[in-house]
Structures are given as C-alpha cells and as structure tokens.
Chain A
Amino acid sequence: MLAKIHITLKKDVLDPQGSVIANSLKSLGFDNVNDVRQGKFIELEINSNSKEEAKKQCNDMCEKLLANLVIEDYSVEIEN
C-alpha cells in the first residue's frame, strides 16, 4: 500500500519561508495570493493487511518521528 502523509505547520506557528514565497509570487504578478504556508509531503510504501491498520501505523509514525506535534499537524491517506 502507498501512504501519503502531509505535514503542515500549525496555524499559530509563524512560517517565514511561506511569507517569502508569498512575496516572490506577488513579484511575479500573482497579486491575488494572500497567504502561503509551506509543509512536507512524505510518501511511503507499507505492507499491511488492511488500510485501517496501515493508517494506524502511519499515525503512530507521525506521532513518534515524522511530525513534531508542538509545531506541526499531520494527515494520512492510504492508497492500494
């Protein structure tokens, strides 16, 4: 199975990289960009008997290593 994990900064954490990207987009003429938040995307292949089991394991991986829960939120999608 393929797990797709998005890791994003929590809303109350400043994202200076996102702000710089937003400014660069504006300078390219994308005036309608209001806010940019940069995150991480992790794809991993996992052997599992069920999607539920795979998702549970990926949540555990995020809690233990992949995300820092003080500053980041995560979401997991499992595909066959």
Chain B
Amino acid sequence: MKTHVIVFPGSNCDRDVAVAIQNIIGSSPEMVWHKDSTIKQSDLIVVPGGFSYGDYLRCGAMASTSPIMKSVIENANKGVPVMGICNGFQILIESGLLQGALIRNSSLSFICRDIIIKPTNTKTIFTNKSKISKMPIAHNEGNYFANSNQIKEIEDNDQIAFQYCDENGDINAHSNPNGSINNIAGVFNKSKNVLGMMPHPERAAESIHGCDDGRNIFESLLS
C-alpha cells in the first residue's frame, strides 16, 4: 500500500500516525509538506492532528487553503481513501470534503482524556473491523454541529462513522464529552472514502500506549 501523511506547520500527530501506519499497515508513509502540490498515486492519505497555523480564524481554515489540499480533494474525488484525525477532521470539513462544522466544546475547556466510541456504520473501508473502542481525545473545538436538515441527510445516507458512548455501548448525554449533536465523533463523505474523526486511534495503537483499540481502524483498511 502506498500511503501519505500531510504535514502542515503546527501538525503534531504526523509522526504518531506514521508509526501506526508502519506498524499496522506495514507501509512506510511518504510525509508530504503542505506546500507540495501533488500526490500522484496513493492508497491512503492521512491529514493528521495538531494545531495547523495556530488555529487562526477557525480551526483548519488556513490549512484548507494550502497548495496540497487541492490534490487531496482531487484524490478524494477519485475515490482514494482520505482520513482526517482531530485537526485533520477540522481541515477536511473546512475544505468541503466533509459536511458540518466543529465548534467550541460546550464546556469551553480543552479536553484531553480517554473516551469510548462505537462504530455506527461498519460497512466501510475504515470501519469493517471496528468495535466499541477506547481512545483519547485532545481538542478544544470538537463539538460537531450540523443543522437539522444536514443531520437528517447524513443519517439517511449512513454517513455517521462513530458516536461517543459508555462502556456498554449506550449513546447518551453522559458519554458525550464535548456537546456534539447526536454524540457524533466522526463522519464519512457520501461515498464513504473520506473519514473525519476527533478521537485519536494512532494514540491507542500499541500496548505501550495503555490501550490498542485504535488498531482496528488501520486493520480495517488492510482488508
């Protein structure tokens, strides 16, 4: 598999995700600087977490105008799997590849802790091996918002990827860390080859992390 990880000024999970891809998928990803303009052929493009451009204007807004994003969008439109984690999710939303918006956490606090998510649609390239999983979140703007018409559209089209839940898999207000509508932790594009998620699977990808539940997302991509 030929894999690529995009690096912006302020990315800080690029190496973590590269290690996860190397260990689990067995591919050594090419690190692509945001000023490069093309990715010719890829089987997976990851837009990693961090604080690209210091979160100026809105999280992900500046990065979405970087030269490389045109190529990411072109590849996504051709069906190449594209995955955005945390700030990468915010960037994919700002670039128009995913619907909705990510606004300030309802608590107004930066949240850095383990949460539990449940895959909502397990028939996709990213989630076919997914189960209820524990992994960390670390964000200030992870509160997923879309208006009622948009929510209906993404629900009807099975575009919800993950929802925050408790240990039993119950999706309730108590297990919602940031105020996201319907506990949404991740969404797909319409054709399900683009995934954006706030939790960090690459930070729960080997036993030394204390939990390796995040592996199942990378393992799904292998099958």
Contact = CB atoms under 8 A, between A and B. Distances in A.
Interface of A: 10, 12-14, 16-17, 20, 65-66, 68, 70-71
Contact of A65 (B61, B101, B147): B61
B178 to A, nearest CB: 10
Contact of A70 (B104, B145, B179): B145
A71 B145 contact: yes
Q: Is the interface of A mostly helix, strand, loop or mixed?
A: loop
A70 B150 CA distance: 10
Contact of A20 (B57, B99, B108, B145): B108
A70 B147 CA distance: 8
A16 B61 CA distance: 21
Given A14-B179, A65-B57, A65-B65, A70 B146 contact: yes
Contact of B145 (A13, A17, A65, A66): A13
Interface string B77-111: 00000000000000000100001110111111000
A66 B108 contact: no
A35 to B, nearest CB: 17
Contacts of A71: 101, 103, 145
Contacts of A68: 58, 61, 94, 101
7 contacts: A13-B103, A16-B104, A17-B104, A17-B108, A70-B99, A70-B147, A71-B101
Contacts of A65: 57, 61, 65
Interface in B144-162: 145-147, 150
A62 to B, nearest CB: 12
Given A68-B101, A70-B100, A70-B150, 15 more contacts: A12-B147, A14-B103, A14-B179, A16-B104, A16-B105, A16-B106, A16-B107, A17-B108, A20-B108, A65-B61, A65-B65, A68-B58, A68-B94, A70-B101, A71-B103
Contacts of A66: 57
Contacts of B58: 68
Nearest to A9: B103
A49 B143 CA distance: 42
Of the listed residues A65, A66, A68, the one surrounded by the most CB atoms of chain B closer than 10 A to its CB is A68
B100 A14 contact: no
Contact of A16 (B94, B99, B108): B108
